[in-house]
Amino acid sequence: MKHIPRKRFGQHFLSDRLIIDGIVDAIAPAPGQPMVEIGPGLAALTQPLVERVGQLTVIELDRDLARRLREHPQLKVIESDVLKVDFTAVARDLQVPKLRVVGNLPYNISTPILFHLLTHVDVVQDQHFMLQKEVIDRMVASPSTGDYGRLSVMLQWRYAMENVLFVPPESFDPPPRVDSAVVRMVPHETPAALQPQLLEELVQVAFSQRRKLLRHTLGRWLEARAFGGQFDTQRRAEEVPVAEYIALAQALG
């Protein structure tokens, strides 16, 4: 029976064989690697991946799709909302130190998924995700650009990232109304030690009024914390490099 894509799950199924091959080549799966796929859907990416790795863990929320996937002998199916999945526990259950995580993420909750995975980054070897191109542009953005913001800082603190493949709307069924792309995310081996919640709060305050100078937002926040160090608040949030936000979070922590 044909599966009807469900809007509430943000379902757009990849159907372009050339794009699928390009994504698999970018991931470069090898036999025996512990891999987890988020949102396998109709298994367009799942099948070529499992053929290369041998066994694959998949996370699928849609009950009908999960039932179909369970019929595949090489798949371990976790039927769940990905935001409730404990990836650290998944690695422990598989008895591996690190996971390779891949997927065509639902565009309506892609940012929450990225932040959820950030809390499990210690058990991640790398991540390859298809996302709305606009989101990836923000993830990899440089300072002093319109795309640079909270997402850029929080993710660049922890990952080296690269936009590896453009994916047009017609590669999906049904086609989304936006362009898509594939991003590679590799955790830094020795990330700066800091309190993630503090960095997140700091960055959120900084970008809360991005058109204003930081003295109106982050400056007042620092004053309330009786910060005695040096930090130039005569700039806008988008002018501050990631390294400076990290250094400030470390000084406050």
pLDDT in tens, 173-192: 888 789 999 999 999 999 99
Helices (H), the chain: 17-27, 46-53, 63-69, 87-94, 110-118, 133-139, 150-158, 196-206, 218-224, 242-252
Q: Is 12 annotated as a binding residue?
A: yes
Is 108 annotated as ligand-binding?
no
Question: Predicted confidence band at 11 (pLDDT cuts at 50, 70, 90)?
Answer: low
Q: Is 60 annotated as a binding residue?
A: yes
Classify domain 7-187 by CATH architecture.
3-Layer(aba) Sandwich (3.40)
Q: What is the pLDDT of residues 59-84, one digit of tens each?
A: 999 999 999 999 999 999 999 999 99
Residue 97 has pLDDT above 70, yes or no: yes
The correct CATH number of 196-252 out of 3.30.70.270, 3.50.50.60, 1.10.8.100, 3.20.20.540 is 1.10.8.100
Q: Is 162 annotated as a binding residue?
A: no
Ligand-binding site membership of 189 (annotated): no
Shared fold status for 7-187 and 196-252? no
Q: Sketch the domain layout of the chain as residue ranges.
A: 7-187, 196-252
Task: Give pLDDT, residue 5.
Answer: 43
On whether the CB atoms of residues 53 and 83 are closer than 8 A, the answer is: no
